């Protein structure tokens, strides 16, 4: 089975992300990046499917030159080859997921895989739509919130997570797009051998399709500070002083102890 | 025609609780833009319940009634709603940002060449047009977005973005329409929903909760969280990454995919405050956040914030509680 995995590279999770001077976007100059965690789970699911039923895993990412690092990591973990859709600026950010889906659609049409896997959502723009829009554009069926994948000859049966601890199995015909929920299985680390091998694997750079340069459907006008929902008291001092203040306040101010 | 069309969700023969929050958001959007609001409910057997959506301010309620709309399937929802929207021609289509909406609404919007404004927390009007806010970078920033496309445009409102209007019968007419759905064209074959295991822990009944997140770093460090929970007389809970790592069982998870809790005291230990977690605990009476990142979104909703190393603060707290 040929599987295409769409990966997004996002700012590393633990970093403070500052707005740029104009508050139009974030200041990317000092950031380091990593593979969007839900997409890492999509890659893991693809590698496990390949191990159980054979085939090929192609990693795809759209973005500036730096996303090749994410693709190289995917190759080191076991993807067979990679496609880098070279885009810069607004189209590379994912603020309109329809643009991202358009970028990926051209790669899918070129590769004709049986299965496309994406993470459920990105940790930066977080709209959680790219896989569904991509499926719609391809005319393929999709399933989201996928936590288990059982491929069959004509169709795939997936376990979907619903709200509040509920699950459901759904069967859809091939070819299909699945948006994978985090935690579908343990993530593997790249081995030294894998990292070495990745250096010989192909990353093909392609230009974005011309339609992706069209005006987006939704546009980010700027960034604002999150609103504080409560009057937060910041407790100062050493850990011991903070702890003593908190216990005092929980006892006599909030009266919850 | 024009106006705002709200799509309400039924779940297991009852209203999804976010449905009436989305309705409240649509009514507010209607007041701000001068547009009328109507409701539609894709369902099977919801005729009587639909009258409850005819609250003040709603012009009409339509049930899209079809046997193929009994069990959820993305194609059925897209087909039925695309037909209805093409006929009604609303300016805006509003959804609750539920798991179900996330599964079909992006495809429905794509059918019209539009992008769903997903997970919006609210809006304000500028130059006569709404500017929608939605979280970016895990809630570290708020993005202000506008539609560049003509009507119809599609928006889903986040859980808790609006206070839900209470269901109430009103004067607005309730109609039942049968969409021209071809069941043979529905590609998803859904099986009945199920629960994995009986939940052993009912966190929703807990008075105090100590919840642990990624900041705990290692499974071996969970013992510290256990000791802190014991010192507070609290139940131990966790955010999703801890459950995904297999460090605690799924019935200890707080958040949109776990339990929703409202204890008197909630202590977030090393939890950054991803939205999926916050929707599960923001109803807590008193929230304490302990995190080394001063910009962590959890501090936005905390009553007491302790910035620092949890491996120093937690033992200090255990000490302070015992003295």
Structure confidence at residue B262 (pLDDT): 86
Structure confidence at residue A130 (pLDDT): 98
Residue B35 CA to its chain's centroid (Å): 25
Interface touch A141/B301, C-beta < 8 Å: no
Say yes or no: A28 and A53 in one domain: yes
Ranges of H-type helices in B139-221: none
Query: Could you read off the pLDDT of B275-286 as tens digits, one per residue?
Result: 889 988 988 989
The DSSP secondary structure of chain A, one letter per residue, reads -EEEEE--EEE-TTS---B-TTSSSB--TT--EEE-HHHHHHHHHHHHHHHHH--EEEEEEEESTTHHHHHHHHHHHT-SEEEEEE--THHHHTSSHHHHHHHHHHHHHHH--SEEEEES--SSS----HHHHHHHHHT--EEEEEEEEEE-SSEEEEEEE-STTEEEEEEEESSEEEEEPTTSSPPPPPPHHHHHHHTTS-EEEEPPPGGGGSPPSEEEEEEEPPPPSS-PEEPPSSHHHHHHHHHHHHHHTS---
Say yes or no: A240 and A157 in one domain: no
Domain at A200, CATH number? 3.40.50.620
Do the first three CATH levels of B4-185 and B203-322 match, i.e. the same topology? yes
A139 touches chain B (CB under 8 A): no
Nearest to A232 among B115, B243, B305 (CB): B305
Q: What residue of A is the nearest CA neighbor of B255? A: A164
Taking phi first (over 0 means left), then psi (-120 to 50 degrees means alpha), and beta for anything else, what does residue B264 get? alpha
Q: What residue of B is the nearest CA neighbor of A223? A: B143
Question: Which percentage of chain B shows pLDDT scores above 90?
Answer: 77
Q: From the candidates A218, A229, A240, A247, which should be mutated to test the interface with B, based on the most B CB atoms within 10 A?
A: A218
The structural architecture, per CATH, of the domain B203-322 is 3-Layer(aba) Sandwich (3.40)
**Mean pLDDT along residues A16-20:** 89
Query: Could you read off the pLDDT of B61-119 as tens digits, one per residue?
Result: 999 999 999 999 999 999 999 999 999 999 999 999 999 999 999 999 999 999 999 99
Query: Could you read off the pLDDT of A116-139 as tens digits, one per residue?
Result: 999 999 999 999 999 999 999 999
Say yes or no: A179 and A113 in one domain: yes
Say yes or no: A69 and A123 in one domain: yes
> Is the predicted pLDDT of residue B1 greater than 70, yes or no?
no
B122: confidence class by pLDDT, cuts 50, 70, 90: very high
Looking at this predicted complex, what is its ipTM? 0.92
Class at the top of the CATH hierarchy for domain B4-185: alpha beta
Interface touch A165/B199, C-beta < 8 Å: yes
| Mean per-residue pLDDT over chain A, rounded | 94
Interface touch B316/A242, C-beta < 8 Å: yes
Interface touch B143/A95, C-beta < 8 Å: yes
| B179 token code pair | 């969409």
Q: What residue of B is the nearest CA neighbor of A180? A: B103
Interface touch B103/A229, C-beta < 8 Å: no
Nearest to B142 among A98, A135, A223 (CB): A223
Query: Could you read off the pLDDT of A145-195 as tens digits, one per residue?
Result: 999 999 999 999 999 998 877 899 999 999 999 999 988 888 999 999 999
Q: Which of A10-14, A153-157, B2-6, B304-308 is the least confident region?
A: A10-14
Query: Could you read off the pLDDT of A36-63 as tens digits, one per residue?
Result: 999 999 999 999 999 999 999 999 999 9
* Tally of domains within chain A: 2
> Is the predicted pLDDT of residue B198 greater than 70, yes or no?
no
E strand intervals along B72-169:
92-96, 117-120, 122-126, 129-136, 141-147, 153-157
> Is the predicted pLDDT of residue B249 greater than 60, yes or no?
yes
Gap between the terminal Cα atoms of chain A: 58
> Is the predicted pLDDT of residue A15 greater than 90, yes or no?
no
Rounded to whole angstroms, what are the CA distances from A161 to A39, A77, A167, A229, B193?
17, 26, 5, 30, 9
Q: What residue of A is the nearest CA neighbor of B303? A: A232
Say yes or no: A95 and A13 in one domain: yes
**Residue tagged 């008197």 (tokens):** B264
Residue A241 domain boundaries: 229-257
Peptide bond into A175 cis (omega under 30): yes
**Mean pLDDT along residues B130-141:** 93
């Amino acid at each position: 089975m040929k599987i295409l995995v769409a990966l997004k590279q996002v700012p590393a999770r633990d970093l403070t992300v500052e707005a740029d001077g104009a508050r139009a976007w974030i200041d990317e100059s000092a950031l380091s990046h990593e593979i969007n965690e839900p997409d890492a789970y999509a890659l893991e699911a693809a590698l496990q499917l390949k191990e159980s039923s054979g085939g090929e895993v192609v990693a795809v990412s759209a973005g500036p030159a730096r996303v090749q690092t994410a693709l190289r990591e995917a190759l080191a973990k076991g993807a067979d080859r990679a496609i880098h859709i070279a885009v810069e600026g607004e189209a590379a950010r994912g603020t309109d997921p329809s643009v991202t889906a358009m970028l990926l659609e051209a790669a899918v049409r070129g590769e004709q895989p049986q299965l496309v896997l994406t993470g459920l959502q990105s940790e930066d723009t977080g709209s959680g739509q790219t896989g569904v829009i991509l499926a719609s554009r391809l005319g393929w069926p999709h399933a989201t919130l996928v936590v288990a994948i059982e491929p069959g000859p004509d169709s795939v049966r997936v376990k979907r997570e619903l709200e509040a601890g509920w699950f459901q199995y759904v069967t859809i015909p091939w070819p299909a797009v699945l948006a994978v929920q985090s935690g579908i299985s343990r993530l593997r680390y790249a081995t030294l051998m894998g990292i070495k091998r990745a250096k010989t694997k192909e990353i093909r750079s392609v230009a974005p399709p011309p339609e992706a340069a069209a005006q987006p459907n939704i546009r980010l006008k700027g960034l604002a500070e999150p609103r504080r929902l409560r009057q937060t008291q910041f407790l100062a001092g050493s850990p011991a002083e903070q702890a003593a203040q908190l216990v005092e306040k929980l006892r006599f101010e909030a009266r919850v102890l | 025609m024009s106006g705002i069309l709200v799509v309400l969700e039924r779940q297991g023969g009852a209203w999804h609780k976010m449905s009436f929050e989305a309705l409240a958001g649509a009514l507010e959007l209607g007041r701000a833009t001068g547009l009328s609001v109507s409701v539609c409910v894709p369902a099977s057997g919801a005729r009587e319940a639909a009258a409850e959506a005819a609250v003040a301010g709603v012009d009409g309620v339509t049930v899209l009634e079809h046997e193929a709309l009994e069990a959820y399937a993305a194609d059925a929802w897209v087909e039925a709603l695309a037909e209805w929207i093409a006929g009604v021609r609303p300016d805006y289509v509003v959804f609750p940002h539920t798991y179900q909406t996330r599964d079909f609404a992006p495809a429905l919007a794509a059918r019209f060449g539009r992008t769903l404004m997903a997970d919006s927390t609210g809006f304000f009007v500028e130059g006569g047009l709404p500017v929608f806010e939605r979280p970016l970078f895990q809630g570290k920033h708020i993005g202000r977005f506008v539609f560049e496309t003509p009507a119809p445009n599609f928006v889903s409102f986040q859980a808790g973005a609006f206070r839900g209007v209470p269901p109430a019968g009103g004067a607005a007419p309730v109609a039942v329409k049968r969409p021209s759905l071809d069941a043979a064209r529905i590609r998803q074959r859904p099986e009945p929903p199920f629960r994995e295991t009986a939940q052993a822990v009912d966190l929703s009944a807990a008075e105090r909760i100590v919840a642990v997140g990624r900041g705990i770093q290692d499974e071996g460090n969970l013992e510290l969280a256990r000791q802190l929970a014991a010192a507070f007389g609290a139940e131990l809970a966790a955010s999703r990454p801890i459950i995904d790592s297999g460090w605690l069982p799924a019935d200890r998870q707080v958040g949109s995919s776990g339990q929703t809790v409202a204890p008197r005291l909630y202590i977030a230990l090393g939890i950054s405050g991803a939205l999926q977690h916050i929707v599960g605990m923001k109803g807590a009476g008193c929230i304490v956040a302990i995190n080394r990142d001063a910009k962590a979104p959890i501090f936005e909703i905390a009553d007491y914030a302790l910035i620092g190393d949890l491996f120093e603060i937690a033992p200090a707290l255990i000490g302070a509680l015992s003295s």
